[in-house]
Each structure stands twice: as C-alpha cells, then as structure tokens.
Amino acid sequence: MPDKGVNPADALHIDLLREHLSQNADSLTPELRQVEDILRQGLRYPVLPLKELIIVNDDRIKPSTLPDTEFTVLGVSKQTGVFVNEKLTGDNIKQSYFSVLKNQFCYNPYRINVGSIGLCELAIENQIISGAYNIFGCNENTINPKYLDALFHTKKFLDYVNEKAIGGVRMDFKIEYMKEWQIPVPPLEIQNEIVEKIERQKEIIRGAEILINAWHPYIDESVIKKSLKDFIIDSLYGISTPLSDEVKYPVLRMNNLDTQGNWHLDDMKYIDTPIKTERKLEKGDFIFNRTNSKELVGKSAVVDFDFDGTWAGYLIRLRFNSDLSPFYLRYLFAQKKYRNFFSSIGKQAGGQANINAAELAQTTIDWYPIDIQRQIVERLDRQMAALENVRYLKSEAEKRIEEILAGVWNEKDAVSPLSVAQKENIIRQIHVAEEKATFKRMVLANHIVNNSLKDKNFGNVKFEKLLYLADCFAIKRNLGQKYFIQAAGPYDNTFTKSYFTKIEEYRWFKKQKQDTNQFVFIAGEENEKSLKTYNYFSKDELERVNTLIGYFKQHSYEQPEIIATLYAVWNNRIIRQEPITDALLKQDFLNWDAQKAKYKDRLDAALQWMREKSIIPDGWGEVIEKGSRK
C-alpha cells in the first residue's frame, strides 16, 4: 500500500492502512509500529506520557533577599485558574517561592482533586507562587498549553488523580504522578482547532454567566410593613432521623435549594421508615433553611412539584394564610436586603449560623395585597424562566466541551462528523448567535458608559453615536448590529432600548433627567459588576474605543451626532459604490432628516476633522436606511 494519500477521515483508507500494517508487522519501523498500535487500539492519535511533553520549573527564589522589590503573589482556584492573590514587597515574604512564567501550570498537590490546577496566562514582572505548588511548562512545539489545560479539567484526569490517592492518608499528587499520565497528542494544528472549538463554547458559558450573575429578583420596597407571624398558620422543624443513599422515602435537605429559591434534586437522601401524614410535604409548602453558614442561612424555596417525602432538621416548613403567597415570599427572601438581614441575625455556634422559628416569625416583611403579590410573582417567574434558558445554553456548551475532548480520546461519547447531535448543536448555535452577540455588545456598551461617567455632557444621544462609531469604526465585528436612520443619526433601536432597560434592572447604572430634558448616566448600586470585559475585546480594540470617547469628552452631543451621521452617509456611498465628494456627503447629511439643517455651517470643519483623526469609513457593515422606529 502506498505510504501517502491516506485520508485519516476516510474509514476505508484507515481499514486498508490497518490491514497493510498488520500484514507487514515484522518489517515495521518504530514509527510505523506506533501507528499500527494506535490503529489496533482504535485510538485516533498517539498517546504519550507527560514526561515527554512537560518541563518542570525548579526556579525557587527567596523574595526576602530583595526586600524593596514588589512581587505579585499568585493563587489557583477551580473557578478562575491562576489569579493574582496579592502584591507584597520582598521584606514581607519569609518563605521560598517559585517564579512563574506565562503558559506554565501551577498545581497544589494536596488539593488537585478539587480542581486546584491552572494555566498561568499572566505575564507580570516578578510573579511568584507558594513553594507548596508544583510548577511546569510544556514543549510548545509539540503541545498547545490550552489543549493540555482542557485535558486537566476532564473526568479522565480527575479519575487518574484519585486513583493515585488510593491507600494514602491524604491527597499528595506528586510531580512523578503527573509525568506518568498519558494523553493523546494530535498534530499541533489539530490541537489548535480543538482549542478554538472549546474557546467558542467557553464564550457561550461566559456570556451566560454575565446574565446569571447579574440577575436577582427585584421587588420595590412597600409602604406597608408586616410581621411574618401575622401570616403563619403552621411551622414545623424537620426530622432528625439518620439519612442514607438507599432509595426509599426521600428527604429534602439544605443542599437541595439555592439562594434564589431553586431546587436541585440530583443529590437526594432517604429514610427507611414510612413518613407520618403531618410530616409529608405538600405543594405550596414554604421551606426555610434555619441553620447554615452565615452566607447561606435563610435560603428559602417553595415545594412546587409532586413530592412524596419529608424535610430534614436544618429546615423549617411553614404554611401561611391566604394573605401571603409563599411564592412571593420566596422571591422576597432571595433579595440581597433579606439575605443580609438573615446573615446578621443568625446566632453563631460551631461555625454555623442559626435562626429559630420564633426569630423567623418576628421578621418584618414588605407586604402588598395578595393580587399585587401574584403580579410580582408572575413577572419574576417569567424572568426566572428566561434565566433557566440561559442556564440551559451554558449546560449545553459545557456538554459540547466534554464531547470535543471525548473525541480526542476516541471514546463512545465523541461526536462523529455530521452526527445528529452535531446538527442539532449547529441549529442551537444559530438560535443563540443573537444572544451571544448581545452579551458582547452589552460589555462594549458598559465600557463606553463607565468611561464616560465623568462627562457631564454624556447622555442618550452621545451614547448612541459613540456606540455606532465603536461598532463600525473602532471594533468592526459582526455582533448583530442593525442600525436605522433616526433624526439624531444612526440608531440601533432594538439593542439600545433593551440595553437601557437592562442596565437599570441589573442596577449597573441609573439614568437621571436633566433640566435640558437630556438624560445623564450615574453609577448604580451594582456598577462593579458592569466593569468586567471577559476578554471579549482586545486591548487594541478597547484603546480605539477609549480614543473615540476622549475625542468627544469636551463636546455636547452635537459633535458626535454630526460625525456619526457623516460617517454613516460616507460609508453608505462606499457600500453602494457611488461617487464620493464633499458636496455629495454634505447633501446626504442634510437629506438624512430635516433637523440636520441646523448643522449646515459645521460640515466642512467636521469633514476636515475626520480626515485629521483618520476616522474614515471603508465600507464595513450594512447600508443604513429608514426602518422600524419601535
């Protein structure tokens, strides 16, 4: 059989190659023996131990010998990987530390089983990590660090770690164990493709987390306050019977509900004795977590599903009269105001905070008539349903990452080319494309607003025109923009109206009306959450946006309105391949809307300014025309 022309994606070619190698087993070179072994095992790529791929970092230093030097001390967490923990001068660091370079891995041998391993993507001068960690890099001519990082976050690696811990008193995953772990090593270009696919899924996950982390139930403070005891008709502590994994009579525990009142029933415990009638839960029962950590005590939920079971001792079951909806109270208690209240009144004992039934009954609540309560619940239920869809997108992206990596190992969970699952995933990607774009544009819009908060002239119009110039000049990415002609210039009404609603709902910003009837932005209570950019945009892209913002900081909304509209009509002519002269551009500007006539004498200077600042369109984007004004 010829040694070239084999298509590895063609099953027939692979079968012929396997047959050829098996018939000539005695005369195979070492390289061909490895190929034959791979095919015989059904593997897709060569499998190598990490000792052939990694380079251990033994660069220990004593920061105390450089007392005036500032060091960046790193840490590792399962959620964020390698992060900046603190900055200290050498005279405050007594122990030996490791110097860490970009693209090196850091792991805690005693906590690696709970995810304490990460890839350092930082390149800060004098970055170090505790000497308790093991540090290694990899041969980047053979292995993409991000590909290896993805493998470290698979169940296969965790199983290997736990296997090595069997028989030990405590976890101690030595560097020798790490070197022994064997991984599939595709060609580097295929590793890069795998990393790119995984990054796309992580982008969905990050976008979903923006909404999940930003959302919380919001209920206006009521005029009428009432004590919870006015509504309680029955309250009862849960059982203290020992629990087991043997499936008989189910028991809800504090681990089964979260701080937003959602149930998580994938980890149930049971009792083996029948449940008395008074101990059985019913639909509509309110569950309050009376004992937990200071941060979690007071979690509450409503039994909104059929459940032939009971509840555990750290929970209280309550039933109310007809003037209080348990579903309303669930959302009320999920608010930050009440979460902080329960944290403050919980009595500390043995590392736990406790709130007894009498103390709970004394809680003062925001009360509305029952019809208003139901309206509030309906509104928040709709928001929660939308949030569940976001969680589903996140879950599907996480599953897709698992499928991609299973394909590397050639396992049964791998997705074959053009399988049904892949086709369904492609369809889902089409459906979520707009949501993904919206996440990114919200991040971009937040960046514009946050960097303009000190600009006394920054209002709706200035924001809209800066967003347009950022989209179509500074960034030039297809993020689902759809601009139309509006009196003040190009305007993406669908995104902008939604964004203005979201920023106040999430309390990132507030809009205040001025005497001039213009709105200005001020930071909201949760403004800090709007500062994250999630690495959606490069440093260069954000610097270009910042430059645009700086150009207009000393101007009213009129200057960005003029520039954005001139840019739009100029870009329209490029896209339509129409003649371009200053006279034609000015005529298009004046034809945009009758209100543009007031700027007639400023257009020559504006065009000259655009050329001086190199704000010249190149035909990127779509023609802006008249359209929906909803």
**Predicted confidence (pLDDT) per residue in 449-489, tens digit:** 999 999 888 888 999 999 999 999 999 988 888 899 999 99
Whether 66 maps to a domain, the answer reads: yes
For the residues 572-584, what does the mean pLDDT come to? 92
Angle, CA 527 vertex, CA 523 and CA 532 arms, to 5°: 130
pLDDT-derived band of residue 630, with 50, 70 and 90 as boundaries?
Answer: very low
Q: In Å, what is the CA distance from 401 to each residue of 202, 394, 436, 521?
A: 8, 11, 17, 39
What is the average per-residue pLDDT within 597-606? 95
Find the mean pLDDT for residues 251-265.
93
Query: How confident is the model at residue 247, as a pLDDT?
Result: 79
| Closest by Cα among 469, 441, 440, 493 to 550 | 469
Please report the pLDDT score of residue 554 as a whole number.
Answer: 87
Q: What is the CATH number of the domain that holds 361?
A: 3.90.220.20
Average pLDDT over residues 223-227: 97
Query: Span 238-245, mean pLDDT?
Result: 91
Domain contains 292: yes
Average pLDDT over residues 541-557: 93
Q: Based on the domain organization, do 144 and 198 belong to the same domain?
A: no
Give the pLDDT score at 597.
95
Domain annotation covers residue 211? yes
Instruction: Classify residue 400: in a domain, yes or no.
Output: yes
pLDDT digits (tens, 9 = 90+) for 115-159: 889 999 999 999 999 999 999 999 888 899 999 999 999 989 999
Same domain, 285 and 386: no
- This prediction has a pTM of 0.52
H/E run at residue 19: helix 11-23
Are 373 and 474 part of one and the same domain? no
pLDDT score, position 532: 86
| Residue 336 placed within a domain | yes
Pair 138, 218 in one domain: no
**Which stretches of 223-297 are assigned E, i.e. beta strand?**
225-227, 232-237, 249-252, 269-271, 286-289, 291-292
The residues that bridge with 599 in the sheet, in sequence order, are: none
Could you tell me the residue range of the domain that residue 347 belongs to?
Answer: 226-366
- Whether 499 shows a pLDDT value over 50: the answer reads yes
Residues 296 and 362 grouped into a single domain: yes
Distances (CA, A) of 307 to 4, 113, 280, 282: 63, 35, 8, 7
Closest-CA residue to 528 (of 214, 295, 220, 216) = 214
pLDDT single digits (tens) 339-389: 999 999 999 888 899 999 999 999 999 999 999 999 999 999 999 889 889
Same domain, 178 and 122: yes
Handedness of CA 352, 355, 357, 358 (dihedral sign): positive
* 460-469 and 558-576 helices, crossing angle to 10°: 30
Q: Residue 4 — pLDDT band, cuts 50, 70, 90?
A: very low
Q: For residue range 169-184, what is the model confidence (pLDDT) as tens digits?
A: 567 899 999 999 999 9
* Confidence (pLDDT) at 10: 44
- Quick check: is 10 in a domain? no
Q: What is the distance between the alpha carbons of residues 611 and 609, in angstroms, rounded to a whole number? A: 5
Q: How many independent structural domains does the chain possess?
A: 4
User: Is residue 144 classed as helix, strand or coil in its secondary structure?
Assistant: coil
Does residue 471 lie within any of the structural domains? yes
Is 378 part of a structural domain of the chain? yes
In this structure, the answer to whether residues 67 and 103 fall within a common structural domain is yes
Residue 393 and residue 472 in one domain:
no
140 in the same domain as 66: yes
Average pLDDT for residues 618-623, to the nearest whole number?
90
526 and 605 housed in the same domain:
yes
Domain edge (last residue) among 325, 341, 366:
366
What pLDDT does residue 6 have? 47
